[in-house]
């Protein structure tokens, strides 16, 4: 079974600064997908960024980028130029690639509460 | 293109009653997933459905919980004889029928409170 661990229950950052959220996972699979989802106070789950394990290049989406270290099973999220609207709970998630019996099932970490201060 | 719709957004039930949660996937999406989020916890997978088929129900409690996704209409998550421990946020997500359907789009959730 896959597990996802987020070791930082809470993080804070000043507006306009950079912050990195950590995520590690455990799997015996070689092909899989990793995601970061954001859950603001409204509790809506919003996809932030996605990474395919077979791609060596780290994914980026505007101010959001990841540092994917496959051998270390690490998948951290870097938020640059933090904005007040980035305040939210951030979840790291894992999904097996197609062909497995649990394909389609997202396994989430416990979440990291990020607060951006003005 | 409307997003994933869930209703009701809030549901209050007394112990022993039935709770029925509805999810309408995004237009063109034929895969639906249900997740449960207990207070102060991450989301836990419950069930994965395609039209008229349950693909993976490994996260569903064996008793009182059932899910369906009929040919017509929304997906339904039903909880019979609710107990206080069922109080949680229940999220539905959908993905398209293409070969690449890893990205799931989430609805706003249904907050169930059992008194």
pLDDT for residue B99: 53
pLDDT for residue B103: 83
Least CB-CB distance to B108: which of A44, A50, A97?
A44
pLDDT for residue A44: 87
pLDDT for residue A100: 57
- Per-residue buried b or exposed e for B32-63, using 16+ beta carbons within 10 Å of the residue's own CB: bbbbbbeeeebbebbbbbeeeeebbbebbeee
Q: What percent of chain A has pLDDT over 90?
A: 80
When mean pLDDT is compared across A35-49, A64-78, A92-106, B12-26, the lowest value belongs to A92-106
Looking at CA atoms only, how far is residue B89 from chain A in angstroms?
9
pLDDT for residue B97: 75
Residues of A in contact with B102 (CB under 8 A): 33, 50, 95, 97
Long-range CB contacts (< 8 A, 24+ apart) of A53-57?
Answer: A53/A29, A53/A97
Residues 6+ apart with CB under 8 A from B63: none
Average pLDDT for A88-111:
85
Is the separation of the CB atoms in A47 and A112 below 8 Å?
no
Residues of A in contact with B91 (CB under 8 A): 45
Q: Do B101 and A104 touch (CB under 8 A)?
A: yes
pLDDT in tens, chain B (115 residues): 578 999 999 999 999 999 999 999 998 888 999 999 998 788 999 999 998 899 899 999 989 999 999 999 999 999 999 999 999 999 999 988 765 557 889 999 999 999 9
Round to whole Å and give the CA distance between B105 and B109. Answer: 12
Q: Do A106 and B43 touch (CB under 8 A)?
A: yes
Q: Which residue numbers of B have CB closer than 8 Å to A's CBs?
A: 31, 33, 35, 41-45, 48, 55-56, 58-59, 89, 91, 93, 95, 99, 101-106, 108-109, 111
pLDDT for residue A42: 85
Find the helix or strand (DSSP H, E) in which B10 lies: strand B10-13
pLDDT for residue B51: 87
Q: Is the previous residue joined to B8 through a cis bond, with omega within 30 degrees of 0?
A: yes
pLDDT for residue B100: 55
Average pLDDT for A18-22:
98
Residues of A in contact with B95 (CB under 8 A): 104
Computed over every residue of chain A, the mean pLDDT equals 92
pLDDT for residue B1: 55
The gap from C-alpha A3 to its chain's centroid, in whole angstroms, comes to 14
Its sign, for the CA torsion B18, B106, A19, A29, is: positive
Q: For strands B75-79 and B65-68, give the pairing.
A: antiparallel
Residues of B in contact with A102 (CB under 8 A): 56, 58
Residue A104: pLDDT band with limits 50, 70, 90: confident
Closest CA to A54 of A73, A33, A72: A33
Looking at CA atoms only, how far is residue B94 from chain A in angstroms?
10
Residue A101: pLDDT band with limits 50, 70, 90: low
Q: Do B33 and A50 touch (CB under 8 A)?
A: no
């Amino acid at each position: 079974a896959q597990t996802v661990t987020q070791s930082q229950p809470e993080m804070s950052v000043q507006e306009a600064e950079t912050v990195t959220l950590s995520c590690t996972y455990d799997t015996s699979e070689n092909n899989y997908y990793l995601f970061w989802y954001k859950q603001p106070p409204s509790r809506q789950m919003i996809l932030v960024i996605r990474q395919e394990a077979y791609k060596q290049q780290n994914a980026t989406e505007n101010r959001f980028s990841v540092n994917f270290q496959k051998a270390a099973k690490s998948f951290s999220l870097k938020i640059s130029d933090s904005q007040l609207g980035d305040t939210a709970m951030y979840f790291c998630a894992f999904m097996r690639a197609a062909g497995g019996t649990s394909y389609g099932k997202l396994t989430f970490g416990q979440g990291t509460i990020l607060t951006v201060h003005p | 293109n409307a997003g994933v719709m869930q209703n009701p957004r809030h549901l209050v039930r007394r112990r022993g009653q039935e709770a029925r949660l509805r999810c309408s996937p995004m237009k063109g999406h034929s895969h639906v997933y249900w997740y449960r989020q207990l207070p102060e916890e991450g989301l836990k997978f419950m069930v994965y459905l395609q039209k008229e088929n349950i693909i993976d129900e490994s996260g569903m409690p064996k008793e009182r919980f059932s899910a369906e996704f009929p040919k017509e209409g929304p997906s339904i998550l039903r909880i019979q004889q609710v107990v206080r421990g069922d109080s949680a946020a229940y999220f539905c997500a959908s993905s398209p029928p293409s070969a690449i359907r890893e990205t799931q789009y989430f609805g706003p959730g249904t907050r169930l409170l059992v008194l």
